[in-house]
Amino acid sequence: MMTKLVVLIVGIALILFLFLVNNAMSKPIYNKMHNMWQDDPIGRQYAQMTIVVMLIIAFVLGAVVL
C-alpha cells in the first residue's frame, strides 16, 4: 500500500514537471534580427513528445495504482 502511494506521488510530480516543460517548449521565440516572434518547430516537437510521455505515465499510474 505504501509503495503504491509513493509511486502515485512520484508519478504526479513527474507529470507536473513534464507539463511545465511542455508549456515552456511550446512558446514562440523572439528573433532579434527581424524584430518579431517566430514559431520554434524543434521546441514544438519536444512539446509533443512530452505530451506522449505524460500519457504513457498516466496510463502506467492508472494500471499500477488500481
Q: Mean pLDDT, consecutive 10-residue segments, the chain of 66 residues?
A: 90 95 92 93 94 95 88
pLDDT attached to residue 58: 94
Domain that holds residue 14: 2-26+38-65
In a domain, 32, yes or no: no
d(CA 14, CA 55): 12
> DSSP letter at 36?
E
In a domain, 33, yes or no: no
Do residues 3 and 64 touch, judged by C-beta distance below 8 A?
no
Amino acid found at 44: R
All cell numbers assigned to 51: 505530451
Structural domain tally of the chain?
Answer: 1
pLDDT attached to residue 1: 84
Do residues 4 and 12 touch, judged by C-beta distance below 8 A?
no
d(CA 19, CA 40): 18
In a domain, 31, yes or no: no
